[in-house]
Amino acid sequence: MPKAAPRRGRKPLNKPPKPKQKRGRKSLKEPVDETMFVELPSDEELSKKLYYSIGEVCDMFQINPSSIRHWETEFTFLKPRKNKKGDRFFNATELKKVHLIYYLLRYKKYSIEAAKDYLKKHKTETDTRFELVKSLQQIKQFLLTIKADL
């Protein structure tokens, strides 16, 4: 006897569930991967070198140069130095600005417009909070190394 076709609108019983989609922006409800937050070298290490090329900055943050160029057009306070040829060079303060933008866009999941508004409204708060988060991350790393030594 032939098997009856399933009725319209019903799911077959033995069909496995679909895997979650991996495209698009991650949900805010999902936990953020800790490797996504990039640690900027300490101020002493940053001051060893006067300028960093756009390639070096991209390697630090694991992003494309086009992202940094786009951020430069969107965020007016980000102004890397350029030579006659047009190559971009970032000093320590510009690196901190890139790090702040990276933190807002990739870690906090703000859109570019929301990040701009946030930075306009909370300029002084943002700097102090960002420095606080950085110092807490360093303390956490220090405590984890102590725990590993025990």
What ranges do the domains of the chain cover?
40-149
pTM: 0.63
Instruction: Write down how long the chain is.
Output: 150
Name the band, by pLDDT with cuts 50, 70 and 90, for residue 34.
very low
Q: Tell me the percentage of the chain whose pLDDT exceeds 90.
A: 35
User: 3-state class of 5 per DSSP?
Assistant: coil
Phi, then psi, of 52 in degrees rounded to 5: -120, 135
For domain 40-149, give the fold: Multidrug-efflux Transporter Regulator; Chain: A; Domain 2 (1.10.1660)
Q: What is the pLDDT of residue 13?
A: 64
In sequence order, which residues have a C-beta less than 8 Å from that of residue 53 and are 6 or more positions away? Answer: 87, 88, 89, 90
Q: What is the pLDDT of residue 48?
A: 82
